[in-house]
């Protein structure tokens, strides 16, 4: 009879996510993970299979949290401009508060762009953001907030791309004025 797992795997995924987010995949060793999770290698392999599989779960968790938060703001929006402004400025504030952290999706795309599983997860996360934005923009268009010539899907794709660029600029620490000017320009795409 095998031993019962003596740790919370969801909590372990969250802690691993934080570690990968701060350090990246390559700079996070197996020993770093074992120390952070306070488990032995046998427990890690039993629960997650490998560092790679734990990273995949951590990235999925990050994507679900980030896209879910964005979707919630957009779902509840009664006006599109304040909602998009909030989404973008929340990211700016997060980067200004902790510029070294950045965005795990951006890190995954740049660090592990040769890994098909990571590419699929990053693509899925971006499609979730695009879908949430497109839905909100479509609702805004039906309320008359967007001009009839605006294409919600094209705008959503632009804003999805802008979000990723905004996260890179945050890591480059170009500052509040730079990012606020960029956000103001992006919001004008809704005019």
Residue 111 covered by a domain:
yes
Residue 76 covered by a domain:
yes
Q: What does the mean pLDDT of the chain come to?
A: 92
Q: How many domains does the chain have?
A: 1
pTM here? Answer: 0.88
Q: What is the pLDDT of residue 169?
A: 92
Q: How far is CA 11 from CA 8, 42, 61, 89, in A?
A: 5, 17, 11, 28
Residue 26 phi/psi, 5-degree rounding, is -65, -35
Q: What is the pLDDT of residues 29-64, one digit of tens each?
A: 999 999 999 998 999 999 999 999 999 999 999 999
d(CA 15, CA 90): 22
Cα dihedral sign, 150-162-64-87 = negative
CATH of the domain at 126: 1.10.357.10
Range of the domain at 93: 59-188
Residue 27 covered by a domain:
no
Residue 21 covered by a domain:
no
């Amino acid at each position: 009879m095998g031993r019962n797992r003596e740790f919370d795997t969801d909590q372990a995924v969250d802690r691993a996510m934080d570690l990968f987010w701060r350090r990246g995949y390559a700079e996070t060793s197996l020993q770093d993970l074992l120390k952070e999770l306070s488990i032995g290698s046998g427990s890690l392999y039993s629960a997650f299979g490998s560092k790679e599989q734990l990273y995949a779960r951590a990235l999925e968790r990050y994507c679900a949290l980030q896209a879910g938060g964005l979707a919630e703001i957009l779902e509840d929006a009664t006006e599109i401009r304040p909602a998009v402004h909030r989404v973008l400025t929340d990211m700016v504030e997060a980067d200004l508060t902790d510029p070294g952290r950045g965005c795990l999706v951006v890190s995954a795309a740049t660090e592990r762009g040769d890994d098909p599983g990571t590419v699929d997860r990053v693509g899925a996360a971006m499609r979730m953001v695009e879908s949430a934005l497109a839905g909100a923009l479509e609702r805004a268009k039906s309320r008359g907030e967007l001009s009839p010539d605006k294409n919600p899907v094209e705008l959503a794709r632009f804003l999805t791309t802008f979000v990723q660029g905004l996260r890179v600029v945050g890591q480059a620490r170009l500052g509040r004025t730079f990012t606020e000017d960029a956000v103001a320009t992006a919001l004008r795409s809704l005019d």
